[in-house]
Amino acid sequence: MTTPGMDARLLDAIFGRRTTNGPFKPDPVPKEVQHLLLQAAGAAPSHFNSQPWRFVLIENRGTIEQVAEISGQSMTTLIEQGLFFNRYKKYFRFTEAEMDARRDGIHLDHLPAPLRPFTQHVFSDAAQGLMRKLGVPRKLGEDNRKLVAGSPLLLAVLLDKEEYRPGELSGFYSVFGMGAAMENIWLTVGPLGLGIQFISTPMELPEQWAKLKSLLQVPPELELMAVYRLGFVPETGNRPSIDWSSRHRKRLSQYVYRETCTQPEQE
Ligand SMILES: Cc1cc2nc3c(=O)[nH]c(=O)nc-3n(C[C@H](O)[C@H](O)[C@H](O)COP(=O)(O)O)c2cc1C
Q: Is the pLDDT of residue 69 over 90?
A: yes
* Best of 157, 186, 198, 248 for a ligand 1 pocket test (most atoms within 8 Å of beta carbon): 198
Of the pLDDT bands very low, low, confident and very high (cuts 50, 70, 90), residue 115 is low
Of the pLDDT bands very low, low, confident and very high (cuts 50, 70, 90), residue 114 is low
Q: Which atom of ligand 1 is nearest to the CA of 179?
A: 31
Q: Which residues line ligand 1 (CB under 6 A)?
A: 18-19, 21, 197-198, 200, 244-246
Reported as a single tens digit per residue, the pLDDT across 215-267 is: 999 999 999 999 999 999 998 877 776 778 888 999 999 999 999 999 999 98
Distance, CA of 193 to CA of 27 (rounded, Å): 12
Reported as a single tens digit per residue, the pLDDT across 121-152 is: 777 888 888 888 888 899 999 999 999 999 99
CA-to-CA separations, 220 to 33, 94, 209, in angstroms, rounded: 30, 43, 15
Please give the distance, rounded to the nearest whole angstrom, from the Cα atom of residue 18 to the centre of ligand 1.
Answer: 9
Reported as a single tens digit per residue, the pLDDT across 196-219 is: 999 999 999 999 999 999 999 999
In CATH, what is the architecture of 20-255?
Answer: 3-Layer(aba) Sandwich (3.40)
Percent of the chain with pLDDT over 90: 75
Residue 27, number of CB atoms within 10 A of its CB: 10
| pLDDT score of 1 | 54
* Best of 186, 245, 247 for a ligand 1 pocket test (most atoms within 8 Å of beta carbon): 245
Nearest protein CA to atom 3 of ligand 1, as residue: 198
**3-state DSSP call for residue 222?**
strand
Domain boundaries defined on the chain? 20-255
